[in-house]
Chains A and B, each alone.
Chain A
Amino acid sequence: MAFSSFRYTLRDAFRSIRRHKSMAFASVFTIAISLFVLGSTLLLVVNSQNLVSEMESQVEISVFLHLDVDRKDALALQKDIEKLPGFDSLEFIPKEKALANMQNRFGQDTDLLGALGGNNPLPDSYRIKAQSSDKVTALAKELEKFPEVESISYGKEWVDKLVSFTVMVKNVGLAVILGMLIAGLFLITTTIRLTVFARKKEIGIMKYVGATNWFIRFPFFLEGMLIGFLGAVAAGIVIYFGYGAAINYCLKTIPFIPVVADYDLLFRIVGLLILGGTVIGAMGSVIAVRKYLKV
């Protein structure tokens, strides 16, 4: 496109926005809101994934051995356990330590060993961590097969809940993001359609004097991109500073809940929003103008 054409196009795009100031403002605002929801959802998903993987790393399987397994055999089992799929780490807990732990729980006042007649009834055990929560169940099944193993225990329900929670957050997040993208596209299409409608006569005259479709389309294209871009920038600013404040608040008041305090990630999300808003704006305007360009 010739430079002079581009100059007219730019002027027309700004003139159109100026003329429909409140309309343009309203759509920038609504785009900003939907992109804000989108960005917040993205951050929520990232954080819940982080929380889940944090919790996953705490899920443990306790493996209790038969009482008649001697110490050498008990320790030898470690090699076999380490070969199992999904295995991450283990800790051997000899029966003496188990008793000591129990003694601690009852308090030093009670003589636990004496009460038990000098016999330690507790078995040797292993505490084992899986690589992730969805591997816990399979790993537990394998562990049960060892003849030395008497019983195992792990929070099966807890693990299952964790797994389904992760899946749900991912799915709901995806649905919200998709919904917001569609809503944004719809909003921009509607806005541009209104400005196209307001300029129907201009478009008609342009066609009569022989303007190309691209020349007619371009100002609307720019207008849509500009609206999408401005909305995204507004949403990005709010998310950037809002999330920064939220991180600080969380670190101070609930430090035990892990939050993703990664500004690189935040930058990437804000960048994604701005790119997304601009692309949505361009697409929305192309959709809006299509109908009016039919000869």
Chain B
Amino acid sequence: MIQFFNVTKKYDNGTLALDNVSVSIERGEFVFLVGPSGAGKSTFTRLLIREGLPTKGQIMIEGKSIIRMKSKEIPLLRRKIGFIFQDFRLLQDRTVYENVAFALEAVGTPVSEVKRKVPNVLNMVGIGDKYACFPDELSGGEQQRVAIARAIVNNPSILIADEPTGNLDPENSLEIMKIINEINKRGTTIIMATHDSEIVDRMRKRVIVLNKGRIVRDDVKGGYDYGLQ
């Protein structure tokens, strides 16, 4: 379970990115974060992995405060959370296999386990046959699948996606959403920031609408239209 208690985030330059946000997300939930550009969606996701501290308020994950957490514990927190980005962030000089293995190696996984887990997760996201390719030999949709594979290979309990379909055409976006939905069905909590109205409307999941750093709507089985324009 993820809980925000009166969380305010003011950046050093004075921008108020989150303004007194309180929200609770159950284990295994699928949540869309929507809202206009600059609403604070990315800030919300970054606070979850302790990339910076909130100015005020408390954040709990599985009953444990991540604000009071010592910096030594941050790596352990991040191992419980997978993160995917709009721009994929793959290492261009490594193959698909190496990019995914990288996430396991970085946390000291034994070689035998790496060899077992990587092909499994690549098959799961549907690019098992591309393991020897380099990122620039793949389509955008395929690259995002590699990024997803890297994010979930450690079996995180939470998957955060910041506009994962932002660089993809509708067809590829749909494929990626199928994969993310699949991951959710296996019990992983999903938090996804997006501008993709079609996806949000089609999936009928919980929708949290942010505007100017405040939660202005929170609907179970919601739609995209936040009626702010």
A interface residues (Cβ-Cβ under 8 A, vs B): 1-2, 4-5, 7-8, 19, 201-202, 204-213, 215-216, 295
Contact = CB atoms under 8 A, between A and B. Distances in A.
A121 B78 CA distance: 100
A1 B78 contact: no
User: How many interface residues does chain B have, given as a range?
Assistant: 20 to 34
A205 B102 contact: yes
B79 A209 contact: yes
Interface stretch (B27-35, B58-66, B68-76): B68-76
Given A2-B108, A8-B105, A205-B102, A211 B91 contact: no
Contacts of B52: 295
Interface string B42-60: 0000000111100000000
A210 B153 CA distance: 12
Nearest to A294: B71
B111 A4 contact: yes
17 contacts: A2-B108, A4-B105, A4-B110, A201-B89, A205-B106, A206-B102, A207-B78, A208-B49, A208-B78, A209-B102, A209-B107, A209-B150, A209-B154, A212-B75, A215-B106, A215-B107, A295-B52
Interface in B100-117: 102-103, 105-111
A164 B57 CA distance: 68
B77 interface: yes
B4 to A, nearest CB: 20
A4 B109 CA distance: 7
A215 B108 contact: yes
Nearest to B106: A211
Contacts of B74: 295
B97 interface: no
B42 to A, nearest CB: 14
Nearest to A212: B75
Contact of A201 (B79, B91, B108): B91
B49 A202 contact: no
Nearest to B113: A4
Nearest to A213: B75
B224 interface: no
Contacts of B77: 210
Contacts of A215: 106-108
Given A209-B78, A209-B79, A210-B78, A1 B154 contact: no
A8 B75 CA distance: 18
A295 B151 CA distance: 19
Contacts of B75: 210-213
A166 to B, nearest CB: 52
A1 B76 CA distance: 15
A1 B105 CA distance: 12
A209 B51 contact: no
A23 B184 CA distance: 46
Nearest to A7: B111
B50 A208 contact: no
Given A201-B89, A201-B91, A295-B71, A209 B110 contact: no
Nearest to B94: A202
Nearest to B78: A210
Contacts of B111: 4, 7
Contacts of B102: 202, 205-206, 209
A210 B51 contact: no
A5 B108 contact: yes
Contacts of B49: 208
A295 B50 contact: yes
B108 A1 contact: yes
A270 B105 CA distance: 38
A174 B109 CA distance: 48
Interface in B129-158: 150-151, 154
B104 to A, nearest CB: 8
Pairs of residues from A and B, 10 with the lowest C-beta to C-beta distance, nearest first: A210-B78, A210-B79, A211-B106, A5-B108, A209-B103, A210-B75, A8-B105, A206-B106, A4-B110, A212-B75
A209 B106 contact: yes
B95 to A, nearest CB: 14
Of A2, A7, A205, most buried by chain B (CB within 10 Å of CB) is: A205
A209 B77 CA distance: 9
A212 B110 CA distance: 16
Contacts of A208: 49, 78, 83
Given A4-B108, A205-B106, 11 more contacts: A8-B108, A201-B91, A209-B102, A209-B106, A209-B151, A209-B154, A212-B75, A213-B75, A215-B108, A216-B106, A295-B74
B154 A210 contact: yes
Contacts of B109: 4
A216 to B, nearest CB: 8
A206 B103 CA distance: 7
